Chain A
Amino acid sequence: MRYVKWGFWITLAVLVFAFFHYTLPQRDIVRIVGTDSRRIDVGENSIFWARPEVGMADSANRDVFFIRAIQTNGRPMEYRNEDTGWGWPPYFKINSSSLQTQATSLISTEENPKWVAITHYGWRNNFFTIFPNATSVRVVEGPDVTLIPWMNIVILTVLAGLLFMLWRMWAQFRERMIDPAIEDMGVAIDNLDARADQARANARTRWGRFKAWLAGTGRR
């Protein structure tokens, strides 16, 4: 039973962490080597893809922009560049075309690298063919600048605040509504007990039984 309990909490913690790790913005420092778009037939991996651009027809078969890059450690990285529009996750990204233009203008070579910070959410995974979705790009001074994730700090702080608020509300509800109700119930049960004891004591004598019978008829 202990293993089940631990397993449950660990699974929940991993799921919550994965959710935030996927959804919150992250920044990579990369060098863009190319941009293109290709036809995508979204299949089983559809939850890892966004949606057609705002105002376009809803279709699982569409062209998607891609940004190809090399990371500071020399390894390749690919980003998709899709609108999230009015849907989830709430980035309200409507400028995938402009972002593609900007990314294209920042293409650089290995000899003369132009380092950029690409803000994105999502994961790259070869087994599912999924790509992080780039949301913005800007030039940085070099490959080893330190970026402080202010946005994530703010978002997580606000979420922690909301969670605290929810907990306070629940505590208040319990203190003011549930506990008094249980107390009332306890008092009612005690009264019932006392009456039963009285009845049992009365039932020991004939006179008592008669009185109890009389009381019973009166109540009916």
Chain B
Amino acid sequence: MILGWVRLAVFGFVALSVVYLLVSVYSRSTRREALEKEFDAGGIEGDRDDYIRAGMERYQHGLRRKLILLVYVIPTVVVGILVWANFQWG
């Protein structure tokens, strides 16, 4: 028999990784779309592809991409609080 919390941790990690993947793809997509719209609105010098590539490069090192890691952090904290509360109370 597998320990209960290990099983939860493994399946939880897999499920949250799927969520992380989906959210990061979505976030990149919206960023790229915003960059395209910015360029197409006019007033920006240079090549469209270069502008978007530079913007995505900035996104790659930006804060927003790191915030997606909260997908892992928030559920873990919530579960931790629930277990701790039940333990304290018990």
Contact = CB atoms under 8 A, between A and B. Distances in A.
Contacts of A98: 89-90
B48 interface: no
B7 A93 contact: no
B58 to A, nearest CB: 20
A21 interface: no
A169 B79 CA distance: 26
B90 A94 contact: yes
A10 to B, nearest CB: 30
A85 B90 CA distance: 13
B76 interface: no
A175 to B, nearest CB: 8
Contacts of A86: 4-5, 7-8
Contacts, number: 43
Contacts of B33: 172, 176
Contacts of A54: 4
A98 B90 CA distance: 5
Contact of B86 (A87, A94, A169): A94
B29 interface: yes
B79 A92 contact: yes
Contacts of A99: 90
A58 interface: yes
A95 B26 contact: no
A92 B82 contact: yes
A85 B29 contact: no
Interface in A93-111: 93-95, 97-99
B4 A85 contact: yes
A169 B22 contact: yes
A95 B7 contact: no
Contacts of A95: 86-87, 89-90
A97 B90 CA distance: 8
Contact of A94 (B8, B23, B29, B87): B87
Interface of A: 54, 58, 85-87, 90-95, 97-99, 136, 168-169, 172-173, 176
